[in-house]
């Protein structure tokens, strides 16, 4: 299995996509993300592979609803170069309806346990505090929350663990978020929201080095809003928190290319590279191999004169 760049002690090797490590912005040292007993080295951008154990996710809903197929897919993504496997048991696509805590746990816990036991860095994509607690107890190292720990008891649930957390911006909630999203200044408002949530995390006992932020591309935003956020990701990177971006296969790619979700690979990879060029340290992707290869080539070109 390819080395992921995950460090579990000073002697652990670092995977650099075949190119020298790069720094984030203007001479600042490259970031690291503390995730439980693991530190993810962000000297180069990392890829988070998506596994949706749902019947209704916008791109791969139903394809990996079977537990065995989901586990095989997660292992394949890891072999393709994913540094993190992000497991979701509840769809957050526009118009999605919630599932019960018991159903979400039944969908994800067997995968979390199996993958964590194999040494995979596992992220759980959930809004529910009980799911967060149970998933971390089963071996998840990251909580990836589209509501940025705003649910009652979510802050306490994560603070009680050593897990890393990704705080995402979402205007509204999944069922209605795309009805008519409006901002005065989307970049400023998203940045202020994420800094406020990160501050609340620190106040609740979650160490700063455990926190990453995500602008929430497609979550209560128009195409114009999404493009503005991607174009000005440097404003988010300047906060000092690692920036995670998930734009893979989303409707914005479809709006720009005219392609349906199955045909948005090229657009998704282009958006991932543009995000990394502007400061993203982690990209969340369905198509891990293509994204890893694109990053390897891009980094080699960027560092060719170093």
Q: What is the pLDDT of residues 91-109, one digit of tens each?
A: 877 766 788 999 999 999 9
Helix (H) or strand (E) holding 125: strand 122-125
Q: Which of 235, 246, 147 is closest to 192 using CA atoms?
A: 235
Return the pLDDT at 119: 96
Q: Which of 281, 279, 236, 274 is closest to 252 using CA atoms?
A: 274
* 231 phi, psi to nearest 5 deg: -65, -35
Q: Mean pLDDT over residues 182-199, rounded?
A: 97
- In this structure, of 30-39, 168-177, 220-229, the range with the lowest mean pLDDT score is 168-177
Residue 30 has pLDDT above 60, yes or no: no
Return the pLDDT at 15: 36
Choice between 55 and 207, residue whose per-residue pLDDT is larger: 207
At residue 39 the predicted structure's pLDDT band, cuts being 50, 70 and 90, is very high
Distance CA 72, CA 52 (A): 13
Residue 1 has pLDDT above 50, yes or no: no
pLDDT tens profile 223-278: 999 999 999 999 999 999 999 999 999 999 999 999 999 999 999 999 999 999 99
At residue 178 the predicted structure's pLDDT band, cuts being 50, 70 and 90, is confident
Q: How many residues does the chain have?
A: 306
Choice between 180 and 89, residue whose per-residue pLDDT is larger: 89
Distance CA 149, CA 233 (A): 22
Could you give the count of Cα atoms lying within 13 Å of 231 in the half-sphere of its Cβ?
9
Distance CA 69, CA 75 (A): 10
* Rg of the chain on CA atoms, in Å: 18
pLDDT tens profile 272-298: 999 999 999 999 999 999 999 999 999
Choice between 126 and 304, residue whose per-residue pLDDT is larger: 126
* 133 phi, psi to nearest 5 deg: -60, -50
Residue 172 burial by Cβ neighbours in a 10 Å radius (0-12, 13-18, 19+):
middle
Return the pLDDT at 8: 36
Helix (H) or strand (E) holding 213: strand 211-214
Return the pLDDT at 55: 73
Return the pLDDT at 65: 56
Pairing of strands 84-88, 38-41: unpaired
Distance CA 262, CA 248 (A): 11
Return the pLDDT at 12: 29
Return the pLDDT at 64: 53
Residue 13 has pLDDT above 60, yes or no: no
Q: Mean pLDDT over residues 187-196, rounded?
A: 98
SS3 of 134-177: HHHHCCCCEEEECCCCCCCCHHHHHHCCCCEEEEECCCCCCCCC
Return the pLDDT at 306: 53
Instruction: Return the number of other C-beta atoms located less than 10 Å from residue 218's C-beta.
Output: 23
Q: Enumerate the active-site residues.
A: 250, 284
Distance CA 96, CA 74 (A): 23
Residue 129 has pLDDT above 70, yes or no: yes
Distance CA 284, CA 296 (A): 16
* 303 phi, psi to nearest 5 deg: -100, 10
Return the pLDDT at 4: 35
Choice between 304 and 125, residue whose per-residue pLDDT is larger: 125
At residue 17 the predicted structure's pLDDT band, cuts being 50, 70 and 90, is very low
Return the pLDDT at 181: 86
Q: Mean pLDDT over residues 69-86, rounded?
A: 96
Distance CA 85, CA 91 (A): 16
Per-residue burial over 14-49, b if 16 or more Cβ lie within 10 Å, else e, is ebbbebebbebeeeeeebebbbbebbbbbbbbbbbb
Q: Mean pLDDT over residues 152-179, rounded?
A: 90
Percent of the chain with pLDDT over 70: 85
Place of tokens 């990836």: 144
């Amino acid at each position: 299995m390819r080395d992921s760049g995950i460090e579990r002690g000073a002697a652990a090797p670092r995977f650099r996509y075949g190119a020298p490590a790069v720094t984030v912005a203007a001479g600042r040292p490259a970031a690291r993300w503390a995730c439980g007993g693991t530190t993810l080295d962000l000297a180069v951008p990392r890829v988070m592979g998506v596994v949706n154990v749902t019947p209704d996710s916008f791109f791969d809903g139903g394809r990996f609803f079977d537990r065995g197929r989901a586990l095989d897919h997660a292992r394949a993504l890891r072999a393709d170069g994913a540094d993190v496997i992000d497991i979701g048991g509840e769809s957050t696509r526009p118009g999605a309806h919630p599932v019960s805590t018991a159903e979400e746990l039944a969908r994800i816990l067997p995968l979390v346990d199996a993958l964590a036991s194999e040494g995979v860095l596992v992220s759980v994509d959930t809004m529910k505090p009980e799911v967060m607690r149970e998933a971390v107890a089963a071996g998840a190292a990251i909580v990836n929350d589209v509501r940025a720990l705003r649910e009652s008891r979510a802050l306490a649930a994560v603070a009680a663990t050593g897990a890393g957390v990704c705080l995402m911006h979402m205007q509204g909630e999944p069922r209605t978020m795309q009805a008519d999203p409006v901002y005065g200044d989307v970049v400023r408002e998203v940045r202020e929201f994420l800094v406020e949530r990160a501050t609340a995390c620190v106040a609740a006992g979650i160490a700063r080095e455990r926190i990453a932020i995500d602008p929430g591309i497609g979550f209560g935003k128009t195409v114009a809003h999404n493009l503005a956020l991607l174009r000005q990701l440097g404003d988010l990177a300047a906060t000092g928190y690692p920036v995670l971006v998930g734009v893979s296969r989303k409707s914005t790619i479809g709006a720009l290319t005219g392609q349906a979700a199955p045909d948005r690979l090229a657009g998704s990879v282009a958006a991932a590279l543009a995000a990394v060029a502007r400061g993203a340290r982690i990209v969340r992707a369905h198509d891990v191999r293509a994204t890893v290869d694109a990053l390897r080539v891009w980094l080699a070109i960027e560092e060719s004169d170093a």
